[in-house]
Structure 1
Amino acid sequence: MSSLKKTHHKPTKLATFAALTAALAITSGCQSLQGANATTKPAPIVQPQKLANFNITGKIGVTMPSNAANTGTQGGSAFYAWGQQNDRFAIELIGALGIGKTNIEYDGQTATLVSEKTGTLTADNPETLLQKATGWQAPISQMPYWISGRPAPSDSSPQTDAQGRLISSVNGPWTASFTYKGNDKLPNKISALQQQGHKVVMTIDHQNK
């Protein structure tokens, strides 16, 4: 009776390669399924930083309710140039809201206004100074933040567009809205409306953007 010998076949390199390929295909398929099931979280919107320094020009228009007028007019406009360095700024107004060429400076503590009609006036803040000189109200202290395309620290209810740009914000009695040119990150127009009817519209051309 002949004896039967068991034959042991060693796996060939081709078989080993085929097994590895199958294993990789299975692993890759699992990873694809995991990737398909994973939810993609939208990237958080990053607020722009307040511009420490800027130079802008443009036109500003102011209107006010008739019962609050003390100059006999219902509004005015002026061309302006605004230079900002940290908390200090200087604004030159030409055709300035009925009081002629006007310069307003603020050093972080005291605001000074000089015009041909009023002479030199000072106040603790630019809002009080502007109202003393012209009767107009404007949210000047918030403007450096709004010009930077971000809400002021005291703002509430800021709203942004799909690109994360500020389009509206509320500060006390003022509601501001912002418009942009194309994909610009900085606004080229700010409109601020006060509950009592005062309105400020400001076009912005950034000289150093």
Structure 2
Amino acid sequence: MNCSTRSRLSRPWRSAAICSLLALLSACSALGPKPPPSGIDYSQQQRQLAALDQWQLQGKLGIRLPDDAASAYIDWRQQPRSYEIQLSGPLGQGATRISATPDGVTLARAGEAEISAPSAEELMYRTLGWWLPMSDMHYWVRGIPSPTAPTGVMERNENGTLHSLTQSGWLISYLSYQAIPPFLLPARLAISRAEIKATLIIKNWQLPQ
């Protein structure tokens, strides 16, 4: 609507339009997460999620540093004693595969020699210049605290899912969830510590049948 059109509106019409807009904004602000289905014990689901050691997620990972920002598509395949993460896009500099077993972690890029390290954190820092706590993220992406690190402040939503927590100096904020029967699993989470900020948007979860 241009300025000349606004000037031709009568005062009652303008008042009605403003009231309608305010009502719409009020309704939108009142919208929140849908209540959980009745009869679900989320304490029990937390225990079940902790025991879930095989899954796959696909989505987008964004990293923001003081002097840089990048994103990549992520495909994370988790097995009981190993995992493989595929990164594609600017963050992965084309295509990057991170493979982890109890013996160590390996990073491979097309046309380059593989690089190995005892931990994913050391490997990421050496090759990318930044790192994320992958051993803890293994739990955070499922919406549960890591049992390998002390838990600081932890806030829960009314339905029992995590709203935020602090562990190992990191702040993890859960921005939204999605129903992946029989669970509610994170759909978007933000992870930050000092000058590192990461956002993970999970488009697809696959759980064992």
**Both structures adopt the same fold (TM-score exceeding 0.5):** yes
CA 108–132 in structure 1, closer or farther in 2 if over 3 Å, else same: same
Q: 1:117-166: CA deviations, max 9, x gaps?
A: 75311111111111111112212211121122110011412221111101
SS at match of 2:159: coil
Deviations 1:151-185 (A, max 9, x none): 00114122211111011111222111113346661
- Per the alignment, residue 6 of structure 1 pairs with none
C-alpha contact 2:178 2:186 (8 A) present in aligned 1: no
- How far off is 1:78 after superposition? 0.6
Mark the CA change 1:165 to 1:78 in structure 2 (over 3 Å): closer, same or farther.
same
Tell me whether 178-187 or 85-94 shows the greater mean CA deviation.
178-187
After TM superposition, list the pairs within 5 Å mapping 1:1-209 onto structure 2. Answer: 45-46=43-44, 47-48=46-47, 49-50=49-50, 51-66=52-67, 74-97=68-91, 99-116=93-110, 119-153=113-147, 154-156=149-151, 157-181=153-177, 185-195=184-194, 197-204=195-202, 205-208=204-207
For normalisation by structure 1, the TM-score amounts to 0.69
In the alignment, the residues of structure 2 paired with residue 155 and residue 100 of structure 1 have an alpha-carbon distance, to the nearest angstrom, of 36
1:57 and 1:80 in contact (8 A); partners too:
yes
Structure 1 letter corresponding to 2:104: T
Are the counterparts in 1 of residues 54 and 207 from structure 2 also a CA contact under 8 Å?
Answer: no
Shift of 1:96: 4.6
- Matched letter for residue 191 of structure 1: A
Larger radius of gyration: 1
Q: Structure 1: where are the runs of 5+ without partners?
A: 1-42, 67-73
| TM-score relative to the length of structure 2 | 0.69
Distance 1:101 1:120, change over 3 A: same
Measure, in 2, the Cα distance between the counterparts of 1:44 and 1:100.
40
Distance 2:60 2:88 in 1: 10
Aligned partners of 1:119, 1:44: CA distance in 2, in Å?
Answer: 45
Q: Give 3-state SS (helix, strand or coil) of 2:185's partner.
A: coil
Aligned-residue sequence identity (percent) comes to 28
Query: Where in structure 2 are there 5+ consecutive unaligned residues?
Result: 1-40
Distance 2:130 2:193 in 1: 12
